Structures are given as C-alpha cells and as structure tokens.
Amino acid sequence: MTRIPIAELLSLPHGPHDPVTGTPPRRPGSVRRTTSIDIRRGDPGRPVEVVARGRDLATLDDGTTDVRDEVEVRGTIDGAGIVTALEADPPVPAVARLVGAPVSRGFRLRVDEVLPDHRAAATVLHLLLDDLPMASMISGYGHSREVPDFKLPPTAAERMADVCAGWAGGATMLDVLERTGFFPIPIGPTAPDLLSAEDPLAWHELPRLEPRSIRRRRRLDVAGGDPLAVDVHFRDSHCDLDELEDVLHEYSLAATVDPATLTVLTSAAVARVLPWPECPEALASAGRIAGEPVAKLRWRVMADFKGTSTCTHLNDVLRSLGSVTALAGAVA
C-alpha cells in the first residue's frame, strides 16, 4: 500500500479545520498549566530527539504571578521505540529508571511505578512523561509524509479498525484504503500562532518548531469559584521539511469541577481540527466523565473509553483533567 497522490488526498472529505487563533488572557485568581512535547526525527534509523517542557503559573488576585511548578525533560528514543536517554531539569534521579523501557506499551505504568509521588501530586513532570507514548506515536505522521513509498502493513489496519470514530470500519480512512489500496495521510490547516504579544507569560518558553518535528501542546486553565471553571486547549501539529506547520488534531474543552470533592460536574468538548468527517462523532463522550473524581480520570478513560464512540486524542484531553488535582490548590 503506497501513499495516496496529494491531489486525491486533498479532495477527500475531512473533519473540521477551524484551529484556535490565540490564547485567552489569564484571569486573576486562576492557575494555568501549559505543556509541550517536541519530537524531532533525524535520518531513517537514527534516534528521535525529545524536548518536553511545562509550567504551572498562578495569576493572583492583584495580577501578579507565581510559578508553582516548572520542568524540562530531554531524551532520545531509538528506531525500535526504546527510550535510550532521559533526564529532567530540575533533576529527578528516578527518571533515569525509565531508560531502556519501550515508549509504547507499558510505559505509563512504568512511570507510575518509578514516580509514585509525582503521580499522586499530578505534577507537570508526570503529565509530560504520561503524554510521551502518544506524542511518540503521532511523530510517525512526519515519517510517513517524507517516505514516497510509505506502506502500512495490512495487519496494522486490521488491528486499528474500530479503535475510534476516525478508524471506524466503512468510514473515510479505511474506506479509501480498502477501495484504492492507498493509505491516506491527513494534512491539516496551517497552525496559527498561539503566543501572545500582549502577554509574554501566556505560555512557557516555546522555541521555533524545527523541521521534521511534531509538537503536542496543552493549556489548562483553572479559575477559582464554586464551581471551579476549567478551560482546556489541546493541539498536535507537524512541521515539514519546508518549515510549514500544520495542525493534525485540536480540541477545546470546558468543564466545571466541584471545589470540595474535585468531582467533574459538566464537560463539553469542541472539535477544532480533526482529520476525517467521522471524528467529531466522538464529541459526546466528553460528557461521560461527569460525576467522576478528577484524580481517577486517567485510568477510568483508559479502561472504559474505547471503540467508535470515542477519539484517542479526545481521550487524552479528558485524561489531562487529572491536572486539576494539582491546580485546584492554587486557586483555593
């Protein structure tokens, strides 16, 4: 199976192409968690480079700010998907115990085992490491675009069938694959800049995205009150060899959380950019977390949110609400 010609690919029906064009102002009495994971591919067979950053920034009632948590993680992953180097700044010695582990299956469990305190406290470091398996998987988009004779093994398509709304049997992607033998690699809209000239603290340090890279970026704002108001933004993007960045997946989500029990009261998602027209059919799944304690969302979503009524990337958005465990204390 080879790559579908670009003209035919662009003529296929696609999902929403309405990326967010900025970042909302920080509210007094709120805390903002921003994270990014950049994965850059070198030549075939060479390790990929990982640079992950994140920060919790509280905005006090008088408008002043206080950094509550900040970390940078650097590492490499070899061609077999094995973590070959990993270190955090500020240093966390236990992170070294993740070296030698596969970044795919079982990595999140390994993170929980070696960093139990960070898991319990829902730190920035824990979120970045927990996000690494999916960010690594998404980085494969860049590789598939650069290889003219890219092939998807038939067993891979069979394994992924019905895993989510976009991979539903008979939906656009698998239908094209079955009818033409071509695997359609989605191309999204140009990625608008999210940095704010008016507010240089809106995001943590975000250098220019290098060619042959993907970036998984998150923003999670929690504003004090009863209930707590939670505003989430999530974007996966890719920078090609010509330094053009396009959006692969993007969601916004608004939720409310009981400040006493940290239980989700309401949750609604908006699909901003998704590859296929069937993908937004998963939006209703965001409401299913209502009534759940935020501390349990990571494993509740992993265990129960499966099949064509869900979206892998929306699941990642829902799981990230576990960060409220850490952020709620900053607005109490």
Q: In what order do the strands lie in the sheet with 30-40?
A: 83-89, 65-77, 48-59, 30-40, 213-223, 228-239, 245-257, 264-273
In a domain, 287, yes or no: yes
In a domain, 35, yes or no: yes
> Can you give the pLDDT at residue 88?
98
294, pLDDT greater than 80: yes
The whole-angstrom separation of Cα 71 and Cα 81 is 24
- In the chain, what percentage of residues exceed pLDDT 90? 74
Single out the residue of 248, 16, 27 nearest to residue 138, CA to CA. Answer: 248
Name the 3-class secondary structure at 104. coil
CA geometry: angle at 328 spanning 323 and 332, to 5°? Answer: 170
44, pLDDT greater than 80: no
Single out the residue of 272, 144, 135 nearest to residue 217, CA to CA. Answer: 135
pLDDT digits (tens, 9 = 90+) for 110-152: 999 999 999 999 999 999 999 999 999 888 777 777 765 556 6
The whole-angstrom separation of Cα 135 and Cα 73 is 14
The more confidently predicted of residues 257 and 10 is: 257
- Total domains in the chain come to 1
Asked if 70 and 43 touch (Cβ cutoff 8 Å), the reply is no
pLDDT digits (tens, 9 = 90+) for 167-217: 888 888 888 877 777 777 778 999 999 998 899 999 999 999 999 999 999
Domain span at 133: 6-331
Q: What is the value of pTM for the model shown?
A: 0.93
Q: Where are the beta strands (DSSP E) in 191-309?
A: 213-223, 228-239, 245-257, 264-273
Segment 220-229 shows an average pLDDT of 96
In a domain, 1, yes or no: no
Name the 3-class secondary structure at 60. coil
312-319 and 297-304 helices cross at what angle (nearest 10)? Answer: 160
Stretch among 60-74, 172-186, 262-276 having the lowest mean pLDDT: 172-186
> Can you give the pLDDT at residue 25?
95
In a domain, 51, yes or no: yes
57, pLDDT greater than 50: yes
> Can you give the pLDDT at residue 163?
85
Segment 232-248 shows an average pLDDT of 94
> Can you give the pLDDT at residue 159?
72
> Can you give the pLDDT at residue 174?
83
- CA distances (Å), origin 238, targets 5, 61, 188, 191, 205: 19, 37, 9, 9, 18
Residue 3 pLDDT class (50, 70, 90 cuts): low
In whole numbers, what is the pLDDT of the chain averaged over residues? Answer: 91
Single out the residue of 193, 183, 185, 235 nearest to residue 214, CA to CA. Answer: 235
The more confidently predicted of residues 312 and 144 is: 312
Q: Which span out of 102-106, 187-191, 210-214, 255-259 was modeled with the highest average pLDDT?
A: 255-259
Name the 3-class secondary structure at 240. coil
